[in-house]
Amino acid sequence: MASEMAVALSGRRNFSKPKNWQMASVSEVIIETPETKTLRLALVDSDGFLPGQYYNIRIPVEGRPRPIQRAYSIGSSPLPDASVIDVGIRDTPGGLVSPVLVHQVSPGDQLEVRGPYGNFTWTERDGGPVLLVGAGSGVVPLMSMIRYQIQKGSSQPMHLLFSSKSYEFAIYGDELGELATAYDWLTVSHTFTRDSADERARFSRRIDKEMVAEILPEINARLSYICGPPEMVECVEQALVGLGMHPDSVKTEKYD
């Protein structure tokens, strides 16, 4: 009950209370794919969060006068414990922050974080059916929504359309397969952009308008959440609105 209150209240508090930087302890590092790791962070100060929100992380970078910050979505559910958050980070080659977080952080380290932020959120009160569309690490906040619904025990139909290079690069690939088997309300369609032979994928190309047009009637979605590279997000958003979904029902998060 206390945790549910934290979730319910966090939506209000997120917009009113100024957030401070805090030191979080890295309690676990989980290898998700060859380029992505989950960092499990224990927060000292937590007001809860809503599924889909993100935290900022900042680190010192040699040659820079101030720490450099980046946004990372929370992949875990706020239930049962919103004071522990999982962030799923993909190594962007040549990047200032993500290669350090992926390759140089170990359990026991401390990281400076601030949050939660963002309006790209879903709870059972938003209803469904819900179409979730993610590419690469864009699946992270969508996974928070799925994991939250499991913890909450609600059963709004959700379909995840998820683009990865191949199954090896599909973040949470095994877990998503197990969850889709365990829960009737969840279906997953993979598309692999660099592997056309894998039968676990329904499609083998980038997400496009035709794919969206094929899937939308199957789930009869009332709401959609799209997350990932800006061009994919814009393409899917346009497709959904073109297919008759109200623009207010299409929520987007662009990983610029």
Sites of contact with ligand FAD (CB under 6 A): 54, 70-73, 88-90, 92-98, 137, 140, 253, 255-256
Considering beta carbons, is residue 42 or 59 the nearer one to ligand FAD? 59
CB of 214 to ligand FAD, least distance (A): 27
CB of 100 to ligand FAD, least distance (A): 8
Convert the chain into a string of H (helix), E (strand) and C (coil): CHHHHHHHHHHHHHHHCCCCCEEEEEEEEEEEECCEEEEEEECCCCCCCCCCCEEEEEECCCCCCCCEEEEEEECCCCCCCCCEEEEEEECCCCCCCHHHHHHCCCCCCEEEEEEEECCCCCCHHHCCCEEEEEEHHHHHHHHHHHHHHHHHCCCCCEEEEEEECCHHHCCCHHHHHHHHHHCCCEEEEEEECCCCCCCCEEECCCCCHHHHHHHHHHHCCCEEEEEECHHHHHHHHHHHHHCCCCHHHEEEEECC
CB of 39 to ligand FAD, least distance (A): 10
Considering beta carbons, is residue 184 or 256 the nearer one to ligand FAD? 256
CB of 238 to ligand FAD, least distance (A): 20
Considering beta carbons, is residue 93 or 217 the nearer one to ligand FAD? 93
Considering beta carbons, is residue 33 or 98 the nearer one to ligand FAD? 98
CB of 11 to ligand FAD, least distance (A): 17
Considering beta carbons, is residue 22 or 56 the nearer one to ligand FAD? 56
The residue nearest ligand FAD at its CB is: 95
